Chains A and B, each alone.
Chain A
Amino acid sequence: MGRLVPLALLFAVAAPQRWVTDDAGVLTAEVRQRLDARLESYERASGHQLLVYVGRSTGGEPIEEWAARTFKDWRIGRKGLDDGAALFVFVDARAARIEVGYGLEGVLTDAKSSRILRERLIPKMAAGDPNGAVAGAVDAMLAALGGGGGEAPPFEIPEELKRFQWIAIAVGVLAFIALAIWKPRLALFLLMMFTGRGGRREGRGGGFFGKGGRSGGAGATGRW
């Protein structure tokens, strides 16, 4: 997998706060914010995490290795579902990679990823239009994932689990009622804590945070 790069020299980027991060400074604020909002609402609607990172260079590491490592470090996609994907663009290295999580491999195939890079990203990058390139690639990726408006297929809970789910809910409700009767203050406290927690998460501004997804090296690389 390429020559060994000493661990200390590996170019690592801290997990991003937003869906679109531009460390190379080539995207305009307008494009960046528009794409960011689009990807945020896509995640809200479908649960899939789609990330864009634009940097200058991987620091010598092959882009495939960098992408696989970074994808795992940033935990893109949901744990178990592995429904994340990322577009990594390196302007100085003139290379880009679409890295796709295990769960989306069947939809955003290698062939499609390769085509997206070849047809949408690379021509515009080579022509000096990074904004058009990245926007076009994101559009295409969302289209492939069926997420123009975020109607990607939701995760279906298998039948046996559904029944169990009802039983679990019933038991939980009964337990809570019992608790409310014997220790009403504790029950009230728990109630507030759980709803408060949900509220607090929203209040954070809803930044990106990885949910434990992984990729198996699927996707495509393009160079210009």
Chain B
Amino acid sequence: MPAYTPSSPAFGPGEARLPHRIWGPGTFIVAIVAGLLVLSGIFVASRFNSLVRLDQAVQSQWAQVENVYQRRSDLVPNLVETVKGAAGFEKSTLLEVTEARAKVAAPLGRAPETPEELERYQAQQEQLGSALARLMVVVEAYPQLKATENFRDLQSQLEGTENRIAVERMRFNEAARSFNSTRDSFPTNLVAGMFGHRFAEKGYFKAREQAYQPPAVRF
């Protein structure tokens, strides 16, 4: 049996060997890696939350957009009824409006998930918008109808709604821009990519609608 020396273990061979230092190079590396993982976790969480917040702003602004488009759709039956009554009013324009309104799909309830979806939505709404614009142009030829208080109120409601649509669309574009510029910036775009389609790029409303603009009367 070997003599006991300080360098050899105090217990016999075959028994567990305790490390003589806790903080060795191995644990140091583990600590660094763990620290990095925690930091990345925190970073990802903060970017995720930012994206969620900006996305929520887009969603709530989209609700406003759908609200004002719905408001316009709701005006149509009243408008059609009022105009129909006018003597000999050209039926085809009215029909166009009614059909365009029917074609407008039910509200999405959430912001479009792709730019293409938004384009389709915009196209449908613009059909109704142009049909209404054409109708109002035709009405110019019916001064008795134009002069009635009822029609004037409807006209002002329509103008007001078109203006609201313009404002809410502009605000939607602003919210979408905020979201997109954060989402696309480095390194947030990496985080966005991690979550698949959830943080897909938002589309924008393009250009101006063929909306009804009252003719500028100059005296």
Where the two chains meet, the residues of A that have a C-beta atom closer than 8 Å to any C-beta of B are: 1-2, 64, 68, 109-111, 113-115, 118, 126, 215-221, 223-224
Name the A residues within 8 Å of B201 (CB-CB): none
Choose from B159, B168, B219 the contact partner of A216 (Cβ within 8 Å): B168
Which of B27-35, B111-119, B150-158 is near enough to bind chain A? Answer: B150-158
Most buried by A among B64, B68, B155, B160: B160
Choose from B164, B208, B214, B217 the contact partner of A218 (Cβ within 8 Å): B164
Q: How many residues from B make CB contacts under 8 Å with A? A: 23
Q: How far is the CA of A98 from the CA of B217 in the complex (A)?
A: 18
Name the B residues within 8 Å of A64 (CB-CB): 163, 166
Secondary structure of the B contact surface, majority rule: helix
Name the A residues within 8 Å of B161 (CB-CB): 110
Smallest CB gap from B211: residue in A: A1
| Contacting pair B159 A110 (CB below 8 A) | yes
- 29 pairs, A vs B, C-beta closer than 8 Å: A1-B167, A1-B169, A1-B208, A2-B208, A68-B163, A110-B159, A110-B161, A111-B152, A111-B153, A111-B156, A113-B156, A114-B153, A114-B155, A114-B156, A115-B152, A115-B153, A126-B219, A215-B167, A216-B164, A217-B163, A217-B165, A217-B167, A217-B168, A218-B160, A218-B163, A219-B160, A219-B163, A220-B156, A223-B216
Q: Known pairs A110-B160, A216-B64. 17 more at Cβ < 8 A? A: A1-B167, A1-B169, A64-B163, A110-B159, A110-B161, A113-B156, A113-B160, A114-B155, A114-B159, A114-B160, A115-B153, A217-B163, A217-B164, A217-B168, A218-B163, A219-B160, A221-B159
Choose from A1, A109, A220 the contact partner of B170 (Cβ within 8 Å): A1
Name the B residues within 8 Å of A1 (CB-CB): 166-167, 169-170, 208
A25 vs chain B, min Cβ distance (A): 23
Smallest CB gap from A111: residue in B: B153
B32 vs chain A, min Cβ distance (A): 46
Query: What sequence of 0s and 1s flags, for each residue 128-164 of chain B, a beta carbon within 8 Å of any chain A beta carbon?
Result: 0000000000000000000000001101110111011
A221 vs chain B, min Cβ distance (A): 7
Query: What sequence of 0s and 1s flags, for each residue 186-219 of chain B, a beta carbon within 8 Å of any chain A beta carbon?
Result: 0000000000000000000000100000101101
B193 vs chain A, min Cβ distance (A): 33
Name the A residues within 8 Å of B170 (CB-CB): 1
Name the B residues within 8 Å of A223 (CB-CB): 216-217
Name the A residues within 8 Å of B214 (CB-CB): 221
Smallest CB gap from B217: residue in A: A223
A144 vs chain B, min Cβ distance (A): 14
Smallest CB gap from A65: residue in B: B166
Name the A residues within 8 Å of B219 (CB-CB): 126, 224
| Contacting pair A217 B166 (CB below 8 A) | yes
| Contacting pair A110 B156 (CB below 8 A) | yes
Name the A residues within 8 Å of B159 (CB-CB): 110, 114, 220-221
Q: How far is the CA of A79 from the CA of B156 in the complex (A)?
A: 27
Q: How far is the CA of A218 from the CA of B217 in the complex (A)?
A: 22
Smallest CB gap from B161: residue in A: A110
Name the A residues within 8 Å of B166 (CB-CB): 1, 64, 217
Name the A residues within 8 Å of B217 (CB-CB): 223
Name the B residues within 8 Å of A218 (CB-CB): 160, 163-164
Smallest CB gap from A2: residue in B: B208
Q: How far is the CA of A111 from the CA of B153 in the complex (A)?
A: 5
Q: How far is the CA of A216 from the CA of B68 in the complex (A)?
A: 10
Name the B residues within 8 Å of A215 (CB-CB): 167
Name the B residues within 8 Å of A109 (CB-CB): 157
B165 vs chain A, min Cβ distance (A): 8
Name the A residues within 8 Å of B168 (CB-CB): 216-217
A58 vs chain B, min Cβ distance (A): 14
